[in-house]
Every structure is written in C-alpha cells, then in structure tokens.
C-alpha cells in the first residue's frame, strides 16, 4: 500500500471490524433475497428476472472504475482493477449472477490523474451510466458527492474521509475513518517488544499530521500501561525529503527503541537508510509496509520491522477460503498480488453481496439497501467482519488488525492464535488488556 494517504488509516487502529452482533433487515420477499441475521444467501443466483436499470442487459451487468493510475507517487493504483477482474472472472466462471455476467470494460476504466477525480466521476455518470462503480483507488475522492447524489453503488479502497459521505459508498474495510483517535494497538506492540521510547514522524500535510496525532493520543491513553512514551515527534517534514539525519540523531539522543511513521514507502526507506548509517537499532512500525516490491528491494533495511494489515495476511496458515480464492483467480487472470488488488477483489465481492441481498429483481437502490443490512461482511475470512449497519459513520465495538514481521525478506504473521489471524481490542477500553482478543 504505497500511497501517502493510506498510512493515515493506522492512526486510531480503526480496523472497522466488528463483532457478530447487529441488526437485520429484508427487502420485498416476492422479488428479493432476504437478509436474515445480517447474512445473505446465494441460493437464488441462478434466477432471471428482466431488469430495467442503468448498465444492465439480459446478459450483463456493466460497471465502471476510477483510479489514480497516473500519480505523483508512482504508486500502482491500477492494480485495483486486477482484483475486480479476478473476482468477476470467478463469478462468471460459475455462471454469473441472475444469469448475467459482470463486466468492467476497458473504456469504463478511468484514470483521474490524481487531480481530475471530480471530472472523471462526472464522465462515469454522464457517459458510462453504469450500474455501479467498482474499483476505486484514488489519491483524492473529490467526486464522492456526485456519486452520492446519483445513489450509484460505489465500492473501493477507503483511504479518505469522503467515503463517509453517503450510504451508497462502500470502502473495502468499511467507510468510517478516525485519523486522530487513540487506540491500543501500538502501545500493545511496544509492550510486546519491550520498547519504552517511541518516535513518530509525519509529513506537514493534514492527513499525515493527523495520523501522528492519533499515535500520540494512543500513547497518552495507554502508554502508562505499556511502560512506553513518545520520546520524539516531528510532523514538520516536507513530502519527498531526502535528509533525515537531524531527526535520526535526535532519536538516538532520546534512546528511541521503536520508530513509527506516517509516511509513504519512499519516506520510510529514506529513514531506514539513515537509521542504518547512524546505527540506530530500532524496528520500524510500517502501516504502509505490506508491499512485496518494497521488501524485495529493501528487505535488508526493514529486517525485524512490523507491518500492519486490516486483512488476513496472505502468509497466514491455514489460509482463509477467501484468500485462497483470491490468490487462485489473481493468478488465473494474470493480476498482481497485493493490497490494492485485494481491495478490488473485496469491492467486487461487496457488489455481489449487495446483488444477492437485493434479489433477482435488483436495482441500484436495492443493492445499497441490501448491503447496508449486512452485519458481518468478511470476504470469506479475508476481513474480521464489517457491520454495514454502522460502518458508514462509526467504529465498531471491537477494533481488529493483523500484524506481520519482516524476516529474511518475507512477511511472518505475529501474535496470532490457531485459525485466528486478527488481534482485537475493545473500542474505548479503559486500559491496555493483558492479552488481545484473537479473532478469525
């Protein structure tokens, strides 16, 4: 996940993952599937009903996507469509849904070039007129309100607070982000590592500096329980800085033994090089670090560092069924394995879940309403579970993440239990618990 903006998700350890409790709802039983207990069945996938909806024919359901393919970070946002293609291929290979194939045509894939998101979203609405927008991975989401106004079901990689703007916007891990709230995850990690002096670095832009605030709040809330404190903090860094010698010297002077950042992969690589040069022997915590290219190129610099994911790491054994399917179909369709393509896969999976919730006589509105009645979307074990009855505007009662360590150029899951890749903490816990909750 190489984007600058994505790193801010870590700030509150806002995994947007809930427990199994939640409301249930249903649509018209005469034409639609029932969302029972917050879950949806695929029992009616083979039924056909003639539908008069944008982007829908008797044979296909057509969607559009928008990504910052051209971006100043050189980040591979185009890979989000690899995941959409792979999931659609799996569904279509099994006969599609409601006797229709799912299609993301090449001319419906829009590059917003970072600064043209609103323009490209408007083009999707007026030119493409798709049933849904599936595969959004952008550095800004200025066009979010246009999609809300049209109530077009929209699915993508949630790294902006605009995903909270409407009930038809579905992030791959939920749509609510709290960048500045404190959480137990980082104090827990410090305690487990025996680290007492923590450093945090951020860029001088709001989403990065908000992330730093979230880390500071985490240790203000739980640092005493972990016997750890923020010993060095700097949110003045200019994006693209190539000299962190002063900051690393100050960290050495403060006896820092755990380094956290709110920076992109270029920034943390610059930092790791300077830490090595000055012989600062401390692991980094990398909210952006689950990146195979990064570790292939610089694994020696990040040896022993820790990486956050809000999905089950691909290396976790036994692999959840959803991860097995993802890896199989990404390979079969020639896509690239990684967090961005997984976000596309989950986006497509949520569309299909919404279609099943709506039933054979589906509509845009019925998909939105149906998915918003689902209380435990987990992508077949990929996620700890998203409760869409609350995930647009609040964190769940339980905050879940997965942590891996970089060892010999590989990601090794940490703090897991048998069959349970996630470590979870009660939201708003008054103190740091002795042990996290382990969750599948």
For 198-208, the pLDDT digits (tens) are: 999 999 998 89
Q: Is the peptide bond before 285 cis (omega within 30 degrees of 0)?
A: no
Burial of 168 (0-12, 13-18, 19+ CB in 10 A): buried
C-beta separation of 182 from 423 below 8 A: no
For residue 41, the model assigns a pLDDT of 85
Mean pLDDT of the 254-267 span? 95
The contacts of residue 160 (CB under 8 Å, 6+ apart) are: 5, 138, 140, 141, 144, 177
Contact 157, 140 (CB under 8 A): no
State the sign of the Cα–Cα–Cα–Cα dihedral 255, 260, 266, 272.
positive
Q: Which two tokens stand for residue 53?
A: 């909806």
Output the six-digit token pair for 128: 């493409």
pLDDT at 8 over 90: no
- Taking the alpha carbons at both ends of the chain, their separation in whole angstroms is 23
pLDDT of 9 over the 60 cut: no
What per-residue confidence (pLDDT) applies to 365? 98
Report which of residues 264 and 111 the model is more confident about. Answer: 111
40 or 170, which is more confident: 170
- Four-point Cα dihedral 7, 395, 217, 172, nearest 10: 0
Q: What are phi and psi of 13, to 5 degrees?
A: 50, 45
Task: Give 395-431 pLDDT, tens digit per residue.
Answer: 999 999 999 999 999 999 999 999 999 999 999 999 9
pLDDT score at 38:
76
Indicate whether 183 pLDDT > 70. Answer: yes
For position 37, what pLDDT does the model report?
74
Report how far apart, in Å, the C-alpha atoms of 224 and of each of 201, 220, 306, 352, 373 are.
21, 8, 22, 46, 40
What pLDDT score does 17 carry? 34
Instruction: Give pLDDT, residue 4.
Output: 34
| Burial class of residue 52, CB neighbours in 10 A (0-12, 13-18, 19+) | exposed
pLDDT at 361: 97
Q: Judge whether 83 and 345 are in contact, CB under 8 Å.
A: yes
Residue 263, phi then psi, degrees to nearest 5? -130, 165
Q: Would you state the pLDDT for residue 34?
A: 61
Domains of the chain (ranges plus CATH)? 20-173+318-371 (3.40.50.2300), 185-309+398-439 (3.40.50.2300)
Residues 120-160 have pLDDT tens digits of: 999 999 999 999 999 999 999 999 999 999 999 999 999 99
Predicted local distance difference test score (pLDDT) of residue 54: 99
How many angstroms separate the Cα of 420 from the Cα of each of 137, 242, 436?
28, 40, 12
* pLDDT, averaged across the chain: 92
pLDDT per position as a tens digit, 19-55 = 333 333 333 333 345 677 778 888 899 999 999 999 9
Q: Model confidence at 259, in pLDDT bands (50, 70, 90)?
A: very high
- For residue 76, pLDDT over 70 is answered with yes
Integer-rounded Cα radius of gyration of the chain: 21
pLDDT confidence tier of residue 288, bands split at 50, 70 and 90: confident
Whole-number pLDDT of residue 22:
31
């Amino acid at each position: 996940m190489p984007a600058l903006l994505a790193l801010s998700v870590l700030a509150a350890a806002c995994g947007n993952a809930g427990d199994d409790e939640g409301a249930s709802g249903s649509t018209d039983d005469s034409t639609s599937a029932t969302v029972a207990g917050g879950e949806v069945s695929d029992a009616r996938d083979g039924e056909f009903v003639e539908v008069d909806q944008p982007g829908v024919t008797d044979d296909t359901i057509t969607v559009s996507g928008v990504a910052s393919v051209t971006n100043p970070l050189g980040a591979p946002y185009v890979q989000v469509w690899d995941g959409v293609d792979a999931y659609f291929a799996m569904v279509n290979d099994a006969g599609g849904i409601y006797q229709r194939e799912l299609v993301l045509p090449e001319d419906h894939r829009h590059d917003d070039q970072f600064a043209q998101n609103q323009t490209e979203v408007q083009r999707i609405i007026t030119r493409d007129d798709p049933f849904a927008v599936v595969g959004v991975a952008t550095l800004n989401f200025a066009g979010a309100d246009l999609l809300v106004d049209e109530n077009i079901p929209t699915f993508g990689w949630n790294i902006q607070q605009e995903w909270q703007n409407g009930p038809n916007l579905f992030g791959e891990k939920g749509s609510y982000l709290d960048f500045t709230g404190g959480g137990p995850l980082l104090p827990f990690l410090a305690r487990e590592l025996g680290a007492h002096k923590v450093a945090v670095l951020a860029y001088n832009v709001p989403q990065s500096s908000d992330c730093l605030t979230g880390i500071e709040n985490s240790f203000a809330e739980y640092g005493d329980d972990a016997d750890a404190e923020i010993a060095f903090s700097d949110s003045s860094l200019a994006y693209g800085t190539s000299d962190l010698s002063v900051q690393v010297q100050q960290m050495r002077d403060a006896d820092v033994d755990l380094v956290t950042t709110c920076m992109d992969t270029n920034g943390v690589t610059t930092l790791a090089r300077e830490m090595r040069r000055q012989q600062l022997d401390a692991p980094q915590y990398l909210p952006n670090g689950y990146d195979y290219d990064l570790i292939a190129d610089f694994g020696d610099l990040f040896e022993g560092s820790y990486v956050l994911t809000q999905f089950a790491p691909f290396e976790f054994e036994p692999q959840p069924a959803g991860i097995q399917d993802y890896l199989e179909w990404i390979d079969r369709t020639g896509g690239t394995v990684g967090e961005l393509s997984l976000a596309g896969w989950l986006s497509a999976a949520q569309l299909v879940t919404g279609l099943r919730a709506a039933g054979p006589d589906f509509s845009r509105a019925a998909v939105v309403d149906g998915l918003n009645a689902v209380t435990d979307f987990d992508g077949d074990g990929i996620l700890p579970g998203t409760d869409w009855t609350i995930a647009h505007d609040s964190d769940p009662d339980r905050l879940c993440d997965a942590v891996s360590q970089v060892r010999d150029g590989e990601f090794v899951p940490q703090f897991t239990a048998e069959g349970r890749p996630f470590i979870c903490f009660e939201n708003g816990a008054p103190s740091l618990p002795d042990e996290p909750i382990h969750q599948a």
